[in-house]
Amino acid sequence: MKFENKSEITLEKYLYLLTHPIGKKAKKKLKNWKMLQIFAMGVTIIYSVVCYVTDALPLAVIGLVLVCAFIYKLMFQLKRKGIKQYKEIIENQPDGKWYRTITFDKDIKVTDGNTVTTFKYHEYNKFDEDDRYYLLFKNENAVLRVEKGAFTEGTDEDFVKFINKKIKSK
């Protein structure tokens, strides 16, 4: 039995993937980045208050400007970087669209834009799903996301049965 899953990676999907990591290391990295921004913002707020209380108003203003910068980084920087990366990827696609096609046959073949990678089923050891994707885990850090409802060959229901036979969740 063969399955093909084809989806266009839109900006919305790319930003979702960027801001919703699955792998353990990726989750930890994003959490640590956010915590560092919050810590730096807290220190800067305390600095600004101390400067204000001691009548060092110019320094307090500088502190408030830094707080605004940390808020910007926390709220908008990741999205801005994602948009920039996405545009760079799109520029390298032949028709200006980015498609990811995953074929499940003898092996797993992932065609991602201009790149083709082949995997063996035995490389994966866990199958799970969330509200948008089927998740095939190589380990706790390497995850292949397969978009739900994007099968051009086969159905979601048959795919779940098929992949559960192929990947023995441990």
Same domain membership, residue 85 and residue 49: yes
Sheet holding 126-129, edge to edge: 126-129, 133-137, 143-147
Mean of the pLDDT values across residues 44-73? 88
d(CA 46, CA 164): 53
Q: Which domain holds residue 83?
A: 14-91
**Which of 104, 100, 96 shows the shortest CA–CA distance to 154?**
104
Question: Mean pLDDT over all residues of the chain?
Answer: 90
d(CA 37, CA 83): 21
In this predicted structure, what is the pLDDT of residue 122? 92
In the chain, how many domains are there? Answer: 2
Per cent of the chain over pLDDT 90 is: 54
In this predicted structure, what is the pLDDT of residue 140? 83
Same domain membership, residue 130 and residue 61: no
In this predicted structure, what is the pLDDT of residue 170? 42
Tokens of 24: 């353990």
Residues 6+ apart with CB under 8 A from 124: 108, 136, 137, 138, 144, 166, 167
pLDDT band, residue 169 (cuts 50/70/90): low
Domain C-terminal end among 64, 91, 118: 91
Same domain membership, residue 147 and residue 80: no
Buried-state track 77-114, b at ≥16 Cβ within 10 A, e below 16:
ebeeebeeebeeebeeeeeeebebbbbbeeebebbebe
Instruction: State pLDDT tens for residues 98-122.
Output: 999 999 999 999 999 888 999 999 9
In this predicted structure, what is the pLDDT of residue 5? 98
Same domain membership, residue 86 and residue 125: no
Instruction: State pLDDT tens for residues 13-56.
Output: 999 998 888 877 877 888 888 888 888 888 888 888 888 889 89
Is pLDDT at 168 greater than 80 in this prediction?
no
Tokens of 60: 């307090």
Same domain membership, residue 98 and residue 85: no
Same domain membership, residue 63 and residue 129: no
Same domain membership, residue 87 and residue 103: no
In this predicted structure, what is the pLDDT of residue 14? 95
Same domain membership, residue 40 and residue 105: no
Buried-state track 32-60, b at ≥16 Cβ within 10 A, e below 16:
eeeeebeebbeebeebbeebeeeeeeeeb
In this predicted structure, what is the pLDDT of residue 92? 87
